[in-house]
């Protein structure tokens, strides 16, 4: 039965038809969508009912093609936009068709938030994304560079510099799988890890995020990607983005390319290298990452021979996408497009043009998403950026979203709620700590080795140093906060002091802790102690703030070493993200251990100190004598290290 006065021959009917035709014409003129998509939009159904892209039985490319042809330009630009969680209101997501959200800058659901609060935060964003015309799910991303470190009570593993010292790709894979489960427990499917930088200068504040100065070792440790994403089956296609299922996450190899080779190790600086040097030193880890099916790759802030990587079409499009045939999507770093110009954000339309034409697909724009949309829309409409470039970007993003399973499973799997911090993960972290420790000295000339330490009745131990009982300093940067925190009230874990007390407790050994004993204390009490454990090192830091041109042990570390080790047999445990100047103290100490940044598993340090396990770690970095030698890497013509790349004394487990 018809509606009175509603026939096509009526004036009202003619107005409706004219309006529909006008909408269709606008879409066609703008190049915003196909005629079918525009017609469907005017019908009010969005074309989604019975659509191929919603059918999981359809081939991947058919789903991507079907969805892409339905999208307007505004919807495509929305998919290319990643905004900060603090700005990701339901209104913003639905109005701007935002395709991705990140947790950055310290935003959390609440202080000490449990997994359930994280899940609710992510799902609120997802509900807004699914309510849009086409219902394209959002992709929430977070930094998880050594565990799900921003989340309270997550397992914090050793930073990559320590994992590199294990020389154990299978261990790295297991760490990756554990991290993926803890991230999924909070409802998050996408992480900005691993860092595949080949750090050539320890003065760089991100050097601890690098597995090694040696590209071959970094290549081996890319096995962590298969832990994050799952192992490609034997019948699967190598080199195509791959994510095994809801127990895995989409990984992000970063920072493409040359970030570890900047002049003097200055963050975001210039890497001077021939193309041959770039291919030989900094590119190899990306070969392995692409073969393992890494889903995304993040572009570096740094420059190569003066050209900003965020604007480098040759390396992003010609080499990565065309030569290496990378099929995932390329993402910018935080405000990466802004930093193409100097000063930052000086000419944003130019930055958008250069970045998108270079081949960046998703843009991390925490704040200025409206400006990005407007500028990119103008650049497409005036022909500066072709629709084919936009479609390439969106096709890559949608491909990863389909592979990630977001269309079928956009919300968290409640069965994974208990994965955060479950006992198997701290146990794995403790194993990783044990295998990462490098023994640099064990005994003075003519003396018996000090390690492993005895744990027996009537032995008295002095434990000293700023880092002996400081969980935050053990974890370093990217833990709860971007730059990290000191203290023991930030998350759950075991300090090195806790580990020592637990290791010797059953034997009845007496442990005395003094954070910073002065010379008077030592003189009065030196006869009491059989030996001392001195734990000192760097304070937490992350990129830029961690750049350091002198690399000395921070105060009061040197004074503690002098006071204690001058009178008592001592082992110094150095907690740091890189080699530091230690030669002035070598004569005074009986044993020296590089503990790197071991994370929340401090008991792993005690396990090896007291001989429950032997030392096996080998240096993943050259240990210099003086900063004047830097940069100095294995294979250099003038190679004169204090401890060479690959060095590490070994001990056997004790039999008690």
Whether the model clears a pTM of 0.85, i.e. scores above it, the answer is yes
Contact between 451 and 591 (Cβ < 8 Å): yes
Contact between 393 and 80 (Cβ < 8 Å): yes
pLDDT at 50: 82
pLDDT at 24: 36
pLDDT at 246: 97
**Which stretches in the chain have pLDDT values below 70?**
1-48, 105-106, 656
Q: Which of 359, 372, 354 lies closest to 96 in space, CA to CA?
A: 372
pLDDT at 48: 67
* Spacing of C-alpha 269 from chain mean position: 20
- Whether residue 271 has a cis bond before it, omega within 30° of 0: no
pLDDT at 108: 82
Q: Which residues have a catalytic role annotated? A: 333, 543
CB neighbour class for 227 (10 Å; exposed up to 12, middle 13-18, buried from 19): buried
Strand runs labelled E in 12-90: 81-84
CA–CA gap between residue 277 and residue 257 (Å, rounded)? 12
CA–CA gap between residue 17 and residue 116 (Å, rounded)? 49
Structural domains in the chain plus CATH codes: 100-404 (3.20.20.300), 424-643 (3.40.50.1700)
CA–CA gap between residue 237 and residue 228 (Å, rounded)? 18
pLDDT at 294: 98
pLDDT at 457: 78
Q: Is 645 helix (H, G, I), strand (E, B) or coil?
A: coil
């Amino acid at each position: 039965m018809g509606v009175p006065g509603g026939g096509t021959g009526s004036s009202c009917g003619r107005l409706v038809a004219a309006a529909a035709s006008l909408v269709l014409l606008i879409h066609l003129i703008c190049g915003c969508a196909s005629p079918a998509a525009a017609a469907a939009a005017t019908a009010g159904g969005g074309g989604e009912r019975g659509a191929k892209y919603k059918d999981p039985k359809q081939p991947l490319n058919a789903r991507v093609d079907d969805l892409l042809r339905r999208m307007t330009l505004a919807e495509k630009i929305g998919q290319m936009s990643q905004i900060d969680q603090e700005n990701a209101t339901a209104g913003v997501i639905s109005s701007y068709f935002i395709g991705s959200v990140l947790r950055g800058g310290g935003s959390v659901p609440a202080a000490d938030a449990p997994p359930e609060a994280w899940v609710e935060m992510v799902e609120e964003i997802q509900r807004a994304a699914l309510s849009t015309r086409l219902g394209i799910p959002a992709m929430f991303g977070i930094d998880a560079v050594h565990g799900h470190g921003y989340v309270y009570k997550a397992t914090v593993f050793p930073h990559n510099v320590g994992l590199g010292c294990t020389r154990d790709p299978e261990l790295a894979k297991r760490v990756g799988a554990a991290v993926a489960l803890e991230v999924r427990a909070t409802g998050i499917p996408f992480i900005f890890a691993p860092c595949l930088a080949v750090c050539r200068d320890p003065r760089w504040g991100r050097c601890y995020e690098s597995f090694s100065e040696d590209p071959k070792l970094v290549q081996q440790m890319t096995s962590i990607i298969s832990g994050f994403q799952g192992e490609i089956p034997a019948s699967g296609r190598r080199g195509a983005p791959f994510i095994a299922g809801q127990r895995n996450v989409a990984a992000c190899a970063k920072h493409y390319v040359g970030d570890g080779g900047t002049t003097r190790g200055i963050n975001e600086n210039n890497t001077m290298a021939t193309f041959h040097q770039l291919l030989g030193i900094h590119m190899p880890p990306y070969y392995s990452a692409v073969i393992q099916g890494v889903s995304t790759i993040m572009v570096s802030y740094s420059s190569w021979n003066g050209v900003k990587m965020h604007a480098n079409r040759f390396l992003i499009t010609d080499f990565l996408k065309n030569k290496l045939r990378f099929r995932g999507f390329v993402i910018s770093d935080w405000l990466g497009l802004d930093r193409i110009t100097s000063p930052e954000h000086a000419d944003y339309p130019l930055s958008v043009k250069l970045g998108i034409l270079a081949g960046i697909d998703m843009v991390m724009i925490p704040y200025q998403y409206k400006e990005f949309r407007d500028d990119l829309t103008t650049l497409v409409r005036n022909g500066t950026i072709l629709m084919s470039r936009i479609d390439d970007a969106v096709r890559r993003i949608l491909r990863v979203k389909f592979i990630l399973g977001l269309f079928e499973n956009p919300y968290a799997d409640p069965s994974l709620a208990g994965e955060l911090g479950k006992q198997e993960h701290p146990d794995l972290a403790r194993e990783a700590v044990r295998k990462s420790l490098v023994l640099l000295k064990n005994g003075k000339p003519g003396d018996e080795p000090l390690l492993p330490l005895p744990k027996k009745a009537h032995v008295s131990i002095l434990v000293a140093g700023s880092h002996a009982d400081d969980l935050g300093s053990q974890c370093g940067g990217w833990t709860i906060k971007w730059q990290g925190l000191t203290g023991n009230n930030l998350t759950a874990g075991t300090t090195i002091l806790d580990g020592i007390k637990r290791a010797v407790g059953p034997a009845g050994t007496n442990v005395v802790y003094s954070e910073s004993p002065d010379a008077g204390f030592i003189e009065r009490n030196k006869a009491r102690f059989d030996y001392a454990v001195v734990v000192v090192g760097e304070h937490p830091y992350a990129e830029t703030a961690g750049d350091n041109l002198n690399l000395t042990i921070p105060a009061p570390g040197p004074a503690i070493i002098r006071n204690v080790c001058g009178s008592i047999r001592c082992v110094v445990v150095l907690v740091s993200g890189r080699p530091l100047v230690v030669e002035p103290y070598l004569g005074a100490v009986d044993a020296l251990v590089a503990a790197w940044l071991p994370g929340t598993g401090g008991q792993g340090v005690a396990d090896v100190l007291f001989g429950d396990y032997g030392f096996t770690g080998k240096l993943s970095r050259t240990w210099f004598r003086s900063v004047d030698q830097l940069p100095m890497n294995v294979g250099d013509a003038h190679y004169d290290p204090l401890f060479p790349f690959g060095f590490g004394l070994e001990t056997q487990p004790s039999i008690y």
